[in-house]
Amino acid sequence: MNSVYTLLQTAKVIAVVGLSSKTDRASYQVAAYLQQHGYRIIPVNPKEEFVLGEQGYATLADVPVHIDIVNVFRASKDVPPVIADAISIGADAVWLQLEITHPEAEDIARAAGLTVVSDRCIKIDHMQSGL
């Protein structure tokens, strides 16, 4: 939990891959929570122009600012290209939400120097951290 706590404490910008503007979706609820707790949320979804008042981007490569955490709300099978993009843009960490894992891609991310959290909810961990 210590590295997760440190990650949550130091991160400022979180790109949410798969963020939906539909308020009943987990991606929206988690992103709204993070935004309310001081993080800048960057929506990454080719179908969304604006979410939570923030400009949306089709890909991580399109985002014009440094990303601390790439938070992934996509199926496990879709993780490898997201991790490849996270590495190529120099993100600090990749966070795969609950029930999302891809051991091979996670190993590639770690080998590239990224912090990797998988099969965990960033909102739940933030709530439990006391930050």
Q: What is the pTM of this model?
A: 0.96
CATH (domain of 36): 3.40.50.720
State yes or no: pLDDT of 94 exceeds 90.
Answer: yes
Question: How confident is the model at residue 117, as a pLDDT?
Answer: 96
Please report, for residues 1, 9, 19, 80, 111, the alpha-carbon distance to residue 32 in angstroms, rounded to integers and kept in the order given.
23, 18, 10, 26, 31
DSSP 46: T
Domains of the chain: total: 1
| pLDDT tens-digit map of 29-73 | 999 999 999 999 999 999 999 999 999 999 999 999 999 999 999
Q: Domain of residue 47: give its range.
A: 2-129
Q: Report, as an integer, the average pLDDT of 12-25.
A: 97
